[in-house]
Amino acid sequence: MPASLIRGVRVSAWRWRLAAGAVALALVSAAQAQLAVRDDRGATLRMSAPPQRIVSLLPSLTESVCALGACARLVGVDRFSNWPGSVRGLPKLGGIDDAQIERIVALRPDVVLVSSSARIVDRLEALGLKVLVLDSRDHADVQRSLIAIARLLGTPSEAERVWAVIERETQAAVERVPPALRGRRVYFEVDTTPFAAGAGSFIGETLTRLGLANAVPVELGPFPQLNPEFVLRAQPDIVMAVRPALAEMPRRPGWPALRALREGRTCGFASDRYELLVRPGPRMGEAAGVIADCLVAITARDAATKAPR
């Protein structure tokens, strides 16, 4: 074999390797581009493949991951995540303010889902973890989070399916609201101090969807701490709260004069139902159903008291 030929073969082999390398590089970057998810702080998260090990540090994000069919990929959750039942057995990694960074790192997650109020984002990123920051405050946040998580999971169409279920459940709840109660003003208490859910809050949005009015106007903010007198003067048509708080209301000064309390136009939610109501996540359609159930029960009670004996 002449020397020139040998050199030619060597050169072509080198060229071929170079070309193959370039193609591989292009393929990898194409995959990366496929998995670029923008989060709520404006950062873009790039991943070479859909994450297989996920840590969620917010109950509503945990629920979203599961609703999108990826519950099995969760390897750890915050201490408040309790739905669906399968997440109860996962390692509990603390809360937003006291997350156990060491345990999170030890779980080697491909991605960590957190809310924007979490202080640990910088710490986790400094330790080399990928972090997706998502707000969950209102209905629009829930939809945006679902879309972002579904894209991250590599199943973008799942978001539409889950959102359609939420819409269907909500619509069914809307139709069950007794006509006599449409437009009634609701006082929804979230803390006995008293803090209320205003019209601008997540719960307020659900109430609006159900055709109810809010005793706390939107300009007071999502969860204002109110002067108790305000509630009495507003004389809401319906009072909603977690059951123990509702039971305690008649003992507050002046509150026995609330007509809604006297006439039993109240919704006292059991604590697991209440949790469902205040959690902006994929179960918000079910939450609308819980409120509709209570409204139906109020109408039934009203009818029973008015019925001639």
Partner 1 sequence: MTATDARRRRRLAIGLALATLVLLVAGLAAGSDGWSLPDLARTWAGPDGALIVGQIRAPRTLGAWLTGALLGLAGAIAQGLFRNPLADPYLLGSASGASLGVVLLLAASASGGHAIGLATADTLARIGLVGAAFGGALLGVLLTLTLARGAQQTTRLLLAGVVVGVMLAAASDLVTSAVPEALRGKQAFLLGSTGYLGWGSCAALAVGLALTLPPSWRLARALDALTLGADTATSLGVALPKVRVALVGAIALATGLAVSQAGLIAFVGLVAPHLVRRFAPARNGFALLASAAAGGTLLLLADVLARSLIAPREVPVGVLTALLGGGYLVWLLHRRRVA
Contact residues toward partner 1 (CB under 8 A) are 79-80, 95, 98, 191-194, 220-221, 224-230, 232-233, 244, 247-248, 252-254, 257
Q: At its nearest, how many Å lie between partner 1 and the CB of residue 81?
A: 13
Q: Among candidates 298, 274, 268, which has minimal Cα distance to 179?
A: 298
Q: At its nearest, how many Å lie between partner 1 and the CB of residue 225?
A: 5
Closest CB to partner 1 among residues 171, 235: 235
**H or E segment and range at residue 111:** strand 111-114
Closest CB to partner 1 among residues 128, 253: 253
Q: At its nearest, how many Å lie between partner 1 and the CB of residue 118?
A: 15
Q: At its nearest, how many Å lie between partner 1 and the CB of residue 227?
A: 4
Q: Among candidates 286, 285, 289, 282, which has minimal Cα distance to 162?
A: 282
**H or E segment and range at residue 274:** helix 271-278
Distance of CA 250 to the CA centre of its chain: 33
Give Cβ neighbours of residue 74 (< 8 Å, ≥ 6 apart): 54, 55, 56, 62, 65, 66, 87, 90
b/e per residue, 107-122, with b = 16+ CB within 10 A? bebbbbbbbeebebbe
Closest CB to partner 1 among residues 8, 244: 244
Closest CB to partner 1 among residues 56, 170: 56
Q: At its nearest, how many Å lie between partner 1 and the CB of residue 98?
A: 8
Closest CB to partner 1 among residues 176, 252: 252
